[in-house]
Chains A and B, each alone.
Chain A
Amino acid sequence: DQQVKQNSPSLSVQEGRISILNCDYTNSMFDYFLWYKKYPAEGPTFLISISSIKDKNEDGRFTVFLNKSAKHLSLHIVPSQPGDSAVYFCAASTQGAQKLVFGQGTRLTINP
């Protein structure tokens, strides 16, 4: 059973506009959420995270929103740039489990 789901395999956005990537989870025990970005032939790199005690975290052009009641998080990228074209994975964990559970990934393409 997929505990972390990214239901959109791909997303295409025009340069300069907002990109919104979504992620849903089923395990209410998750208390820490992360987004990773992956370019072809490279490993994923950490982008931004959020603890369950918060509902928003910002880092420059990247903002993550957490809606615990809906078990939903989203990543907003504003403004989108061509270098943002990559696969984005959301991931979740619980402190005690020492395991990170990943979604399937969403391929973001930024069009000039």
Chain B
Amino acid sequence: NAGVTQTPKFQVLKTGQSMTLQCAQDMNHEYMSWYRQDPGMGLRLIHYSVGAGITDQGEVPNGYNVSRSTTEDFPLRLLSAAPSQTSVYFCASSPSWGVGSPLHFGNGTRLTVT
């Protein structure tokens, strides 16, 4: 059982480049989300989705786009990378939203923007 799979594990971008961070889950979870982890800031929510075709903004959405065309996949797009987007990005999923449905996290993508 793969759980939540994130690719790539590491990525270096130049300022202004665009890229997509991939996230896939094989648990048929309805809820998926993206977080970024920065030193001293904990994990901050970027975007989330409660099901295919439905997405919404989290705490720090600027500079990122998401879409959810299937239950399994929830890619995160950086439109024009900036050094402030250097971070570790985590994708997470759960069967639904609410009590008794804790998030399952992937192992992260470490992104450096120069």
Q: How many residues of A are in contact with the other chain, CB < 8 A?
A: 25
Q: How far is the CA of A101 from the CA of B31 in the complex (A)?
A: 16
Is the beta-carbon distance between A43 and B99 smaller than 8 angstroms? no
In the complex where A95-B99, A99-B58 touch, is A45 in contact with B105 (Cβ < 8 A)? yes
Interface SS of chain B: strand
Q: Which residues of B contact A (CB under 8 A)?
A: 4, 31, 33, 35, 40-45, 48, 50, 56, 58-59, 90, 92, 97-99, 102-108
Q: Which residues of A lie under 8 Å from residue B40 when comparing CB positions?
A: 9, 104
Question: B92 — which chain A residues lie within 8 A by C-beta?
Answer: 43
Specify which of A44, A46, A95 lies most central, judged by the most chain B CB atoms within 10 Å of its CB: A44
Q: When the two chains form their complex, are residues A99 and B48 in contact, meaning their CB atoms are under 8 A apart? A: yes
- Judged by a CB distance under 8 angstroms, whether A11 is at the interface is no
A interface, CB within 8 angstroms of B: 4, 6, 9, 32, 34, 36, 41-46, 49, 51, 89, 91, 95, 98-105
The residue of chain B having its C-beta at the shortest distance from the C-beta of A45 within the complex is B105
- Distance from B78 Cβ to chain A, minimum over Cβ atoms (Å): 20
Partner pick for B42 among A46, A99, A103, CB 8 A cutoff: A103
The residue that B90 contacts in the complex, of A43, A51, A104, with Cβ under 8 A, is A43
Say whether B41 contacts A104, CB under 8 Å.
Answer: yes
Cβ contact within 8 Å between B99 and A32? yes
Pick from A42, A100, A104: contact of B103, CB under 8 Å: A100
Q: A51-B99, A102-B42, A103-B42 are in contact. Are A43 and B58 (CB under 8 A)?
A: no
Asked whether, in the complex, the Cβ of A98 is within 8 Å of the Cβ of B97, the reply is yes
* A43–B42 CB distance below 8 A: no
Kindly report which residue of chain A lies nearest to residue B6, judged by CB atoms: A43
Contact A43 B105 (CB under 8 A): yes
A41 and B96 CA atoms in complex are apart in Å by: 26
By Cβ-Cβ distance, the 8 closest A-B pairs, closest first, are A43-B105, A46-B102, A102-B42, A102-B43, A104-B42, A98-B97, A43-B107, A44-B105
